Amino acid sequence: MANAPRTAPLDLIDVDSLHSDEERQIRSVVRRVVDDRVRPHVAQWYEEGRVPARELALEFGKLGLLGMHLTGYGCAGASAVAYGLACMELEAGDSGVRSLVSVQGSLAMYAIWRFGSDEQKQRWLPRMATGEAVGCFGLTEPDHGSDPASMTTRARRSGDDWLLSGTKMWITNAPIADVAVIWARVDDRVAGFVVPMDTPGVTAREIRHKLSLRASSTGEITLDDARLPASARLPEAAGLKAPLSCLTEARQGITWGALGVARDCLHTAIEYATSREQFGRPIAAFQLTQAKLADMAVELHKGYLLALHLSRLADAGTLRPEQVSVGKLNNVREALAIARQCRTILGANGISGEYPVLRHANNLESVLTYEGTSEIHQLVIGQHLTGLAAFA
């Protein structure tokens, strides 16, 4: 049988035909900046455990990627699909780079945009949209990850001011941030606060020795009776539903971003398998290798169709939180399986930093956990199917 022409990982069922010209153009622009600005350097960033996050934020701001799905205040007002495609291209470069954009736009900016006062929006959102100001989102605590309702960070009144005390852990962008959205308990409810990071009593410590998301700035925030004016509170955020809605917003980007990892790993494996020879022919010519590639391509396309469907629902205003859980659970889980399988095709070269596969796999171990572990999303879906909560 004659050799058939090769097909790119996402050309198998012509998913490109499902997009508008504008969506494809946005994807191309982000892909170019990742190719130019991220790919040549990311292996070194990962190895050294550092990333020029503030420089990247400014570059991404110039392209309108920060808070791109929000409206007003210098934000692009792009569709959920366009935002998803941008996240896919960013994470094809590295999960840490996508995390920078996702935390900035879908967590910190979205919280202020959705729950903030006019003064808070005017002060922070325009500068965050350009990357001049970097934000972070302080929800997770050292002893309270999947159970944010048990947070111990407290806000108490002191005259007209608020005093915040507590610790937030595993906070992306914290060491470089200008502002943090901090969630704290006020009496028996959860409230949000916009906290400038230069506030006395606020300190951020870089978390070192990570084995995942090394090209990402991650920190611990300590609040020691940090004094804030009454105007620092997010006026429209009432209860735990507010920060959870921010996480739902960000999970859409993760659903797409994981596809970028899967696509990049599969592309790498195909390129390697068609050029690497063993037993006198390319390893791509062996049935076992082709079976692996075929199965991974099928899962990649299924995840893509799921992400696209969910984003179309989001653009229509009908997307529900449990549907986002389906996307995050499936796409991250399958992307991690694809990364691991691609590593087997590369053999010993799969652990080399010259190839992105194991770096992607290591990063996905964090993505699998943050913004809802797989188990939490299984319980969200299970509750929707049965009507019974199984969280306790």
Nearest in space to 245 (alpha carbons), one of 176, 174, 319: 319
If you ran DSSP here, which 8-state letter would residue 215 be given? T
- Which residues are paired to 184 by β-bridges? 191
Burial (CB < 10 A; 0-12, 13-18, 19+), residue 302, is middle
Nearest in space to 137 (alpha carbons), one of 114, 161, 160: 114
**Residue 357 region by backbone torsions, left for phi larger than 0, else alpha for psi between -120 and 50, else beta:** alpha
Is 371 known to be catalytic?
yes
Dihedral sign of CA atoms 103, 107, 108, 109 in order? positive
| Centroid of chain to Cα 130 | 19
Residues 6 or more apart whose CB falls under 8 angstroms from that of 284 comprise: 270, 273, 274, 290, 293
Q: Which of 236, 271, 371, 375 is catalytic?
A: 371
- Which residues are paired to 194 by β-bridges? 181
CB 177: neighbour CB atoms within 10 A?
28
202-206/218-228 β-pairing: antiparallel
220's enclosing H/E stretch is strand 218-228
Q: Residue 392 half-sphere exposure, CB side, CA atoms within 13 Å?
A: 3
Helix (H/G/I), strand (E/B), else coil: 338: helix
CB 309: neighbour CB atoms within 10 A?
15
- Which residues are paired to 193 by β-bridges? 182, 233
221's enclosing H/E stretch is strand 218-228
- Looking at residue 371, its amino acid is E
Which residue reads 């991650």 in tokens? 218
Helix (H/G/I), strand (E/B), else coil: 276: coil
If you ran DSSP here, which 8-state letter would residue 354 be given? T
Residues taking part in catalysis = 371
